[in-house]
Amino acid sequence: MAPNSPTRLHPWKGKEKATSTSTSLDPEFVDLDPVITYRHILSNNLGVKDPLRVIALCDSDAFYAACEMVRLGVDKEEPLVVLQWDLLIAVNYPARKYGVSRLTKLKEALQKCPGLKVVHVATFKEGDSEPGYWENVDTKTHKVSLDYYRRESVKVASVFKESLPASVEIEKASIDEAFFDYTKTVKEILLQRYPYLAQVPKDVLDGIDTPLPPPPRLKWTDLGVSHAIPLTIPAPKEEGSEKGDGEYNDEKPESPEVIVEKNGEGSGAVEKGNEDPGGLNEDEEYTTTWHDIAMSIAAELMDKARAKVKEIGYTTSAGIARNKFLAKLSASYKKPNSQSILRNRAIPSYLRPLPFQKIRFLGGKLGTAIAKEYDVSTVGDLLAISLEEIQRKFGENSIWVYEVLRGIDRSEVKEKPSVNKSMLAAKNLSKPITNAAEGHHWIRVLAAELALRLNEAREANPNLWPRSLVLHARRGYEAGRSKQAPFPFVRKVSVDIIASAGDRLWRELVGSNTVMHVSTVSLAFTGIEVAEQGQKSIEGFLKPASADFSKKRPRDKERSVSIDLEAEHSGFGKSDITLGISKQNHQSSSNVPSWTCARCGKTFHLPEDLSSLDSDIQQEALSSIQLEHQDFHFAEDLSKESDDHVSSVKPTTKKVGFKSRTTKKSRKETHGLDKYFTKK
């Protein structure tokens, strides 16, 4: 049967039901050779069911180590590791040739590789506004900073965005990897290269639903940009995962059927006289599909973008497939500095020998339970288990387990907002905090990290403003407690400003006379937003309004400018706390700035003797008044909530001093997959 035979039907039924329809290529895998019609190539709204869907995952090679190599100007062949306290968190590829891995102890690593270059990550210490690289670091006084790696990650992401067409959707998955949806872009290029596909033939019976004519033969060896993952895959190694448990990211042994070996260096080889890197002979019936053509176009675009990234010192490895799950797996097929294509036809042989516990979310407790229940270790072992059996044992939601084992992933590539809604600085303490002075020491260290990150973010968005500052503290394995307060807008956020607000939260949350033993402390900005377009700064709201303006505004529109100050998860409503700066009657006769509470309508004026001072000082003074008044409302709300709670609901949580404990009756019994992902 021809690959694009119209008698084959698209088997996907939707999210609510797993399909059992399969093709003759493999009885356990579906949609390996879907019918592609004119409708498919002319439509851009088919989503995850699009048979021409092309997704890529690009992962920076040994990113933290690469960042340090760029910073220090280290030769690409010099072995280097990145140290965090006494653990190796990154190992470059030259060091791996000596048998050094992230699980290797530093002393052992130096024995294996005497010329090994060791770099400790940058750390903050009290009194410094920026992290530094120190000869002697101590976890009792220093805090690790990853800000340099974040900045380099942003730089890499910017190069990708500038190098790719605007129609490519990009989703940053982590600090060193991102997903790319090329579907719309490759369709545009397909229609440019093969213009006859843009017009539906007039003499066909099915109209726009008519299958496309056969595509031209594609010789992968002519592309010169990628590995094509072969149809016969040997069992992968069990070691060498760079990402850690739960994610399959091993470097796999080279298959004897791998015909083309292309990477960023341009090296290549042809073995055994075969011409197709997918392990097929000229005599076999299989011919190129339009999806293969689409993936080859995406490979060209990705290869050019990766070359641009390499110019700034970073090599990457990319995987191209029909969905996010398969793209992530194929990105690790040949590392480093490589690019792999997983064609639909190669999916079965690629997944069957895969240790299923290396798949994300199938490691940990769930993977252990599945392995124990069915006495299996690979994806191929689990394919014999029916959907009904998996759902009977692990609940209805385990349909995603059934599907992911068969290479089905319905998740979309979604671009994340450019502005992070929160910033967190946290410290797990080897020696618990036992007195107030130690607490204030760590508040200043955490404040330095937050100040640096917010001010760097403001270089791109000057009007960034965090609504709240949140302090969280925890003792041992007990449930932690948090305290938050609105954070005032200031032109230049300094360590002193954040530390002062953090110290206040510390006194309110922990106190000075309590037996502390705090083992984890964090400080965070939440509710980060950008001021509305056209506003130069928030400070403009504090300036006196003109007389002409005030005459034109009725009193019922005084609070036309309001900015929510409270965090997203506070006890206030969406607009309970606002910066209600009125443009009328909110200034005293001497034009001293004022602030009106949107909740109670009370107006507060600065003393007239401050009218001649700098606007920044006026603003800080007004912010202090504002915070104090909002604390009053906060305490008032807590009192009301407490009274309402006692009168209507029997409490299940009792707070004693610093710790919180929950009665047994309040614990909800978990079912299905939930119990494998719920923390005890």
> Quick one: angle between helices 290-311 and 147-163, nearest 10?
130
Residue 546 DSSP symbol: P
Give residue 91's pLDDT: 96
CA distance 236 to 250: 8
**Both structure tokens of 179:** 């997903």
What structural domains does the chain harbor?
A: 11-58+155-238+249-353 (3.30.70.270), 60-144 (3.40.1170.60), 354-416 (1.10.150.20), 423-530 (3.30.1490.100), 538-646 (no CATH)
3-state secondary structure of 654: strand
DSSP H helix total and E strand total for the chain: 18, 20
For 148-255, strand residue ranges (E) read 169-174, 177-181, 227-228
For 244, counting Cβ atoms within 10 Å of its Cβ (0-12 exposed, 13-18 middle, 19+ buried), the class is exposed
Residues of the chain with pLDDT under 50: 1-23, 233-285, 533-590, 638-639, 641-667, 680
Residue type, 66: A
Other beta carbons within 10 angstroms of residue 595's beta carbon come to 22
Residue type, 653: T
CA distance 359 to 365: 13
- What secondary structure does DSSP assign to 353-375, as a single string? TSBGGGSTTSSHHHHHHHHHHHT
Helical spans, DSSP H, in 395-494: 399-404, 436-460
Strand 117-120 with 80-84, pairing: parallel
For 524, the enclosing helix (H) or strand (E) is strand 518-530
CA distance 414 to 492: 33
Give residue 190's pLDDT: 96
Global pTM?
Answer: 0.71
For 188-293, strand residue ranges (E) read 227-228
Beta bridge partners of 471: 483, 523
CA distance 537 to 490: 10
- What secondary structure does DSSP assign to 34-101, as a single string? ---BHHHHH-S--GGG-TT--EEEEEETTHHHHHHHHHHT--TTS-EEEEETTEEEEE-HHHHTTT--
Give residue 589's pLDDT: 36
Residue type, 436: A
CA distance 506 to 492: 23
